[in-house]
Amino acid sequence: MRDVPKMIALDMDGTLVHPGGTVTEVNQVALQRARDAGARIVVATGRRHSYAMKILSNGGFHAEDILLSSNGAVARRLDGQLLFRQELPLAAAQWLCQAVNAYRNCFVLTFDTVNAQGEEAYGALVVEELDALHARIEKWMTTNAYTIRRVQPIENALRDTDAPPIQAMLCGGLERMDRAYAELNAVNDGRVSLSRTIYPERDLSILDILPADCSKGAGLERLLAMEKLTAHDLMAVGDNWNDESMLGLARWPVLMGNAPAELRRMGEAKGWTITCHHFEDGVAEGLEKFFPAT
């Protein structure tokens, strides 16, 4: 019997999702061939569950498919069933608010307010300031406006909740976020994990701040164990630095052709498969080797 992936982990933005904000029919058909062959489908994204579902609910996905959201912090089936959630301890979150003091105008705390039906409540996103975030990620801020709660100072959001946040985020220009990344790394001491996504053409960098030891790769290790599988059974497809942990874990790593140049060079050196761009259905190209159209 031919050796094929038993779990397929797919990033969303820049990978699975077309620039128009949809999952193309070509990618949907390729994923269905993998399902028909017995593969478990996992969408692994930096998006929150409900924000990812805005696209996935019309993307041909099945209720039993898994959504690993917030860069590995939360795993749910697409029908809303919670599989696991990793939270940022309140002590670490309180420390973080002080550690990012110079970046408060672009700082976001994220809480998992999703109910059993997969719906999200007001307060899922907490910010101290709005203007800098609107200037950098206006579309994201507008789309998520119904969940955004403004709290000044932002530490107060940690005092009036029983549930710790699942992650935090900084976003801004590449140079400023490189500086923030270096400064946080220098004082971190293992309290949190840092994950970067960069868009050089937009001079935009998103710095996700996660619970210690949390990543897409770590989340996939938990899911593999739940399915009684190992990394030997895993194919991972991604396009950016926050995908590095799952690409490094997988037996079959696939990197999109639109990945940042430095990441592509690293992938090539490691022998990763490089596909075409996401707007050319690179996911389907990566799957074709194992699940060809008949």
- Do residues 95 and 207 share a domain? yes
Q: pLDDT at position 103, please?
A: 97
Task: Among 190, 211, 232, identify where a domain stops.
Answer: 211
Strand 107-110 vs strand 167-172: parallel, antiparallel, or unpaired? antiparallel
Interval 116-144 mean pLDDT: 92
Q: How many domains does the chain have?
A: 2
Q: What is the DSSP letter of 13?
A: B
pLDDT for position 293: 86
In CATH, what number is assigned to the domain containing residue 56? 3.40.50.1000
The partner residues of 169 in beta bridges, in order of sequence, read: 108, 208
Find the domain containing 72 and state its range.
7-85+215-288
Q: Are 259 and 239 in contact, with CB atoms under 8 Å apart? A: yes
Q: What is the pLDDT of residue 294?
A: 77
Alpha-carbon span 55 to 248, nearest angstrom = 27
Confidence of residue 114 (pLDDT cuts 50, 70, 90): confident
Read off the pLDDT of residues 200-217 as tens digits, 9 standing for 90 and up. 999 999 999 999 999 999
Residues 219 and 199 in one domain: no
- Residue where a domain stops, chosen among 148, 179, 211: 211
Is residue 250 very low, low, confident or very high in pLDDT (cuts 50, 70, 90)?
very high
Let me know whether 95 and 199 are in one domain. Answer: yes
173, 135 contact by CB (below 8 A): no
- Mean pLDDT of the 251-279 span: 97
pLDDT range class, residue 240, cuts 50, 70, 90: very high
The average pLDDT across 27-39 equals 97
Residue 8 · residue 16 · CB < 8 Å: no
Residue 291, amino acid: F
Q: Mark which of 211, 230, 264 sits at the end of a domain.
A: 211
In the prediction, which pLDDT does 81 show? Answer: 92
Q: How confident is the model at residue 262 (pLDDT cuts 50, 70, 90)?
A: very high
Q: Is residue 137 part of a domain?
A: yes
Percent of the chain with pLDDT strictly greater than 70: 99
Looking at the fold, whether 206 and 98 belong to one and the same domain comes out as yes
pLDDT band at 108 (very low <50, low <70, confident <90, very high): very high
- pLDDT of 107 reads 98
Per-residue pLDDT averaged across 115-122, rounded? 81
- Does the pLDDT of residue 117 top 80, yes or no? no
How are strands ordered across the β-sheet holding 252-255? Answer: 82-85, 74-77, 66-69, 40-44, 7-10, 234-238, 252-255, 273-274
pLDDT at residue 84 tops 60: yes
pLDDT grade for 96, boundaries at 50, 70 and 90: very high
131 and 224 in a single domain? The answer is no
Same domain, 70 and 178: no
Domain assignment present for 294: no
The confidence band for 288, taking pLDDT boundaries of 50, 70 and 90, is very high
DSSP letters spanning 219-262: HHHHHHHHTT--GGGEEEEE-SGGGHHHHHH-SEEEE-TTS-HH
Query: Residues 258, 277: contact at Cβ < 8 Å?
Result: yes
Predicted model pTM: 0.90
Q: What's the pLDDT at 32?
A: 97
Residues 104 and 175 in one domain: yes
3-class SS at 286?
helix
1 pLDDT above the threshold of 60 = no
Structure tokens at 244: 């590095």
On whether both 71 and 122 belong to a single domain, the answer is: no
pLDDT band at 120 (very low <50, low <70, confident <90, very high): confident
Paired sense of beta strands 7-10 and 252-255, if any: unpaired
Q: What confidence category does residue 162 fall into, taking pLDDT thresholds of 50, 70 and 90?
A: confident
Neighbours of 209 (CB within 10 A): 30
142 and 174 part of one domain? yes
Domain with residue 188: its CATH number is 3.30.1240.10
pLDDT score at 212:
95
